[in-house]
Amino acid sequence: MSPDVDGVLSSVLLSHYVRREYDAEAHLIGTFNGRYLRLVGDHPLDVLRGSMFLDLDVRFSEVAHSIGQHFLGPLSVRASAGAFNPNRFFAIEKMPDKYPFATAHLLLFGLLNTAKMTMPFTNTPDAKALLSHADSFFWVCNKYKANSQRWADRLYGAEPTPPFLRAMLDGTYMREAAADHRRFVERVKPYVYPGNVQDDFSDAWKSCTGHQTCRSPNDIVHARNVNALAALFSEILGVDGPTTYDATTTRVVWEGTKLRVEAYPRLMETLERYLQEHNIRSHAVTGARSIAMSQGPDLVLELIDASFY
Ligand SMILES: [Mn+2]
């Protein structure tokens, strides 16, 4: 999964889901941040073939399963049957119409909001803060109000919007929950980078922005922070999270380069070809003008030792 609040939260939600639905156990075996793919435990590299890449859209040819929301644009390949992206699914190609929420919300609203599995865990102040912190859901709902509302309608159709989502969309949450949210941010602070503080916010909310990505001064501390967040989020939601592995067993199995490319119109028209020609293994449209890309070799899963790269 991606080593940030959304990625870790998604793994906890998915773990809860597979336990309830299939009596199965989820294992958190690694992270990918566009630069490094790290595994924990003594899993062979081959394990990635059957793994779910969570909160990640990747283009490694041997990776079949992913759930992400970053891909956008008219892409023709890598639409593996096991890869889900709401923009692809709903044929969204333009930035202003892009799915605005986090991967965690896809799982929350898509998998966990059924009659069988209601979301009792959205009721405590800490749980609300956590669920609204993923990819800054709380401010996205305000900043991109019209698009957020359209996606809420798309996801729920004629069904009533869950109260948690409604409180985000109508501004109730930001009016009432600043103190609760700040308390939550204090709890995740030791494990994440402060990141970008948004200036167009009231003082009450300013200190709640950023704080998304796991600190990673080295591989072991990185894995330790991911594990700590998984434990904290499981506790906050009152669910059994994924099985985690000893952080000291971390190893880097793939390394690439991160690029930022200008999203000029001509590029968008031929995006798929560009991505193929430049060995782009994942990309995220991060604004009207820019695309973050991760460039590197394909994963060849038969090769066990990727320190080779
Ligand atoms: Mn995300």
Task: Return phi, psi of residue 52, to 5°.
Answer: -100, 120
Q: What is the Å distance from ligand 1's center to 70 Cα?
A: 8
pLDDT of residue 215: 97
Q: What is the Å distance from ligand 1's center to 135 Cα?
A: 6
Q: What is the Å distance from ligand 1's center to 9 Cα?
A: 10
3-class state of residue 237 by DSSP: helix
Q: What is the Å distance from ligand 1's center to 10 Cα?
A: 9
Q: What is the Å distance from ligand 1's center to 286 Cα?
A: 12
Q: What is the Å distance from ligand 1's center to 3 Cα?
A: 10
Q: What is the Å distance from ligand 1's center to 133 Cα?
A: 11
Q: What residues have a C-beta under 5 A from ligand 1, the ion? A: 6, 55, 102-103, 135
| DSSP E strands, 25-99 | 30-32, 36-39, 52-54, 65-67, 83-84
Nearest one of 20, 30, 73 to 53, comparing CA atoms: 30
pLDDT 10s per residue in the chain (309 long)? 999 999 999 999 999 999 989 999 999 999 999 999 999 999 998 899 889 999 998 888 888 899 988 776 665 545 566 788 898 888 887 888 989 999 999 999 888 876 556 666 778 999 999 999 999 999 999 999 999 999 999 888 777 788 889 999 999 999 999 999 999 999 999 999 999 877 777 888 988 999 999 999 999 999 999 999 999 999 999 999 999 999 999 999 999 999 999 988 788 778 888 888 999 998 887 777 888 899 999 887 765 555 544
Question: Which amino acid makes up residue 153?
Answer: D
Q: What is the Å distance from ligand 1's center to 105 Cα?
A: 9
Tokens of 292: 């973050």
For the chain, the domain total comes to 1
Q: What is the Å distance from ligand 1's center to 66 Cα?
A: 12
pLDDT of residue 87: 87
Q: What is the Å distance from ligand 1's center to 55 Cα?
A: 5
By residue range, what is the domain housing residue 78?
Answer: 5-308
Q: What is the Å distance from ligand 1's center to 69 Cα?
A: 7
pLDDT of residue 130: 97
pLDDT of residue 309: 44
Q: What is the Å distance from ligand 1's center to 171 Cα?
A: 22
Task: Return phi, psi of residue 242, to 5°.
Answer: -70, 155
Cα gap 213→3, rounded to integer Å: 6
